[in-house]
Amino acid sequence: MRLDRMMAIIVTLIRRTRVQAKELADMFDVSVRTIYRDIEAINQAGIPIITYQGANGGISIAEGYRLDKSVLTNNELAAIVTALKSVSTSYAGFNNQILLEKLKSTVPPAHLESFNLMTQQVLIDLSPWGNDSGLKEKNTLLKQAIDALKTVSFEYCNAKGELSSREVEPHTLVLKGQKWYLYAYCRIRDSFRLFKLSRMKNVQVNDAGFSRRETNLEELPWDKEWHRSQNVVHIVLGINPEVRILAEEWFGVENVLPDGNGRFTVALSFPEDDWLYGFILSFGSHVEVLEPEHLRDKIRNTAREILAIYDD
């Protein structure tokens, strides 16, 4: 336990310039005296830790010091390589292969065979079925714009099929629900927006530059927008046994409950929009909206419109 705590302290000090001992003590639920003992042990292990006194005091790693590669174990290196390989399936970063080779070079030759085996045990393939080279190219182009702090222009088609021209300040590429998005400040809407890459057409990097705006990505701001209270509806669905497994994949096993009559029910909250209507309809006759009534009416009327098309 102490070794884990010491490793966590080192990682925290790498990420942050200076941390107070009291903050570390609260973080790991130990006393300040214990933190200082850990710091002393880290110093003895060869990592120079400096303690500053006074109101702006704290603890930090000596400036200019770089951790030796031996700090990472083979298992930890394998986890990094696996993650990098997984991201590379849908993001063609030109330095990925070079970085992979650099990471592998830190492994002793005697352990390389077992290391390669560890990196082949799991691969998260984020790419769509088929060879979608256009997605990788778009990803790479947007990443270059983010690096260069250049604005991006494109045509965007929203979920309602409405087409608009946008100029944005690209901040972050986001992989969400197996889809790639661009989190960017839209100069037309004067706010941050999340754009699905598959709906972006004629993407161009402009000569105009921009300064990054203050954002806190750890709070996942796109999730907050998705769950706005005025946009969310609580729904109850009736699920036929034939699609129980599919429902469990989408809603979670713990949320698909038997109703006592041979069917199953799901009660969850979703933003109400065209995506939700289409999602429910994608289950065909195997899913029934039980609540709320207005959503039940919406699905019923849409189903009638579809039937009218095929009746004709």
Cβ neighbours for 232, distance < 8 A, ≥ 6 positions apart: 269, 270, 271, 272
Residues 242 and 305 both lie in one domain: yes
Same domain, 90 and 41: no
- Domain stops at, among 183, 214, 245: 214
Please state the domain count of the chain. 4
Domain that holds residue 163: 134-214
Residue segments in the chain with a per-residue pLDDT below the cut of 50: 69, 94
Average pLDDT, the chain: 81
Whether residues 101 and 40 fall in one domain: no
**For the whole model, what pTM was predicted?**
0.52
**pLDDT of 7-66, one tens digit each?**
778 777 876 778 888 888 888 888 888 888 888 888 887 788 888 887 777 888 887 665
Q: Which of 67, 82, 105 is the last residue of a domain?
A: 67
Domain boundary among 214, 243, 262: 214
Please report, for residues 157, 160, 296, the alpha-carbon distance to residue 166 in angstroms, rounded to integers and kept in the order given: 10, 16, 35
Distance CA 189, CA 115 (A): 49
Q: What angle do CA 302, 222, 185 make, to 5 degrees?
A: 110
Of 311, 304, 310, 231, nearest to 270 by C-alpha is 231
pLDDT for position 44: 80
Q: What is the CATH number of the domain that holds 39?
A: 1.10.10.10
The pLDDT of residue 94 is 47
Instruction: Tell me if 226 is assigned to some domain.
Output: no
- Cis amide linkage into residue 241, ω under 30° from 0: no
Please give the pLDDT value at position 101: 67
Q: Which one, of 60, 28, 35, lies nearest residue 47 by Cα?
A: 60
The CATH number of residue 306's host domain is: 3.30.70
CATH number at residue 206: 2.30.30
